[in-house]
């Protein structure tokens, strides 16, 4: 649970009005900059979101006729709004203060720029509120692509990750991956704090990757673009040999992730196979006219 009061402490913002609402719970990790709403377009108001007012929003508000300001703002500053934040230390119009007190909505002020505050808030709220789950597997950054390697215990996930690191790729998480859905399309993964940058390989024990390979061999989080499932080779089971089978997907937190199943048998170079799988999947998406991994390349 995250309250407005906790947000005030985290970001050290000034409370201008509406102190009675500091115990309000923040439930949505998205933000709202209500420009169109101030002039009457309320279709996408989403009052459960924190509202941010910068130069654009306040400038638009000041353009309204004086007799319309309170009325229009009243349609936007609904009681469900957890709080409002005015950025850049801008003067707060009296209508904001009046409605904040009347409706018990915390009205906050920050000296930060709108862009800076927006970015910091999005990251903070996503970390605290975004839907999340814990996945047993290994997350690596291969050619800038977030690859989640899964499979039964002892199948060779960590050993494959070690070989990928030796090839110049980056470790994000080993054994347990905290996966968060940051919006309707994107998943990010990271390691739990207690095992961050650690890799466990049977026979060698637990290794600190930063000490062995340097700080450039790890990263704290990565968007997940591809899932590679390792499974024991089964005689008689059908495996795609020509690449004609339709692409597989695996759903995590409601978001489908492209999936490749790699059968494991002695002598197979799993790290090399994963590198090629990344390049092949990227090529397929590019040829389809939908470049994959735009944020990673």
How many angstroms separate the CA atoms of 155 and 157, rounded? 6
> Per the residue annotation, which of 49, 69, 112, 157 is the catalytic one?
157
- Burial of 15 per CB tally in 10 Å (0-12, 13-18, 19+): middle
Neighbouring CB atoms inside 10 A of 35's CB total 15
> Per the residue annotation, which of 202, 237, 241, 265 is the catalytic one?
241
> Per the residue annotation, which of 175, 190, 225, 282 is the catalytic one?
175
Q: Is 152 a catalytic residue?
A: no
Give the tokens for residue 124: 């903070």
Q: Is 265 a catalytic residue?
A: no
> Per the residue annotation, which of 123, 136, 166, 211 is the catalytic one?
136
Under 8 Å between Cβ of 160 and 187? no
Q: Is 169 a catalytic residue?
A: no
Give the tokens for residue 20: 């009675």
Largest CA distance in the chain: 79
How many angstroms separate the CA atoms of 56 and 187, rounded? 31
Return the bridge partners of 230, or none: 151, 262
Give the tokens for residue 84: 């409002």
Q: Is 241 a catalytic residue?
A: yes
Which residues form the catalytic set? 136, 157, 175, 241
């Amino acid at each position: 649970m995250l309250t407005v009061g906790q947000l005030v402490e985290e970001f050290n913002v000034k409370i201008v009005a509406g102190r009675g609402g500091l115990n309000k719970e923040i439930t949505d990790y998205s933000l709202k900059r209500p420009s169109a709403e101030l002039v009457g377009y309320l279709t996408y108001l989403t009052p459960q979101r924190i509202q941010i007012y910068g130069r654009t929003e306040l400038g638009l508000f000041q353009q309204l006729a004086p007799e319309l300001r309170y009325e229009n703002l009243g349609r936007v500053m609904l009681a469900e709004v957890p709080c409002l934040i005015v950025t850049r230390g801008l003067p707060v119009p009296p209508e904001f203060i009046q409605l904040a007190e009347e409706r018990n909505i915390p009205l906050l002020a920050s000296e930060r720029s709108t862009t800076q505050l927006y970015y910091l808030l999005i990251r903070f709220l996503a970390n605290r509120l975004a839907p999340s789950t814990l996945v047993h597997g290994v997350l690596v950054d291969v050619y800038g692509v977030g690859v989640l390697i899964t499979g039964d215990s002892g199948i060779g996930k960590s050993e494959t990750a070690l070989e990928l690191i030796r090839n110049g790729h980056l470790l994000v998480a080993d054994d347990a991956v905290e996966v968060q859905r940051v919006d309707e399309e994107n998943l990010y993964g990271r390691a739990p704090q207690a095992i961050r940058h650690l890799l466990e390989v049977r026979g060698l024990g637990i290794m600190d990757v930063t000490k062995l390979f340097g700080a450039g061999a790890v990263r704290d989080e990565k968007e997940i673009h591809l899932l590679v499932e390792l499974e024991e080779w089964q005689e008689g089971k059908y495996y795609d040999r020509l690449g004609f089978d339709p692409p597989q997907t695996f759903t995590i937190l409601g978001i489908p992730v492209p999936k490749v199943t790699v059968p494991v048998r002695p002598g197979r170079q799993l790290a090399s196979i994963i590198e090629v799988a990344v390049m092949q999947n990227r090529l397929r998406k590019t040829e389809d006219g939908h470049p994959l991994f735009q944020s990673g390349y």
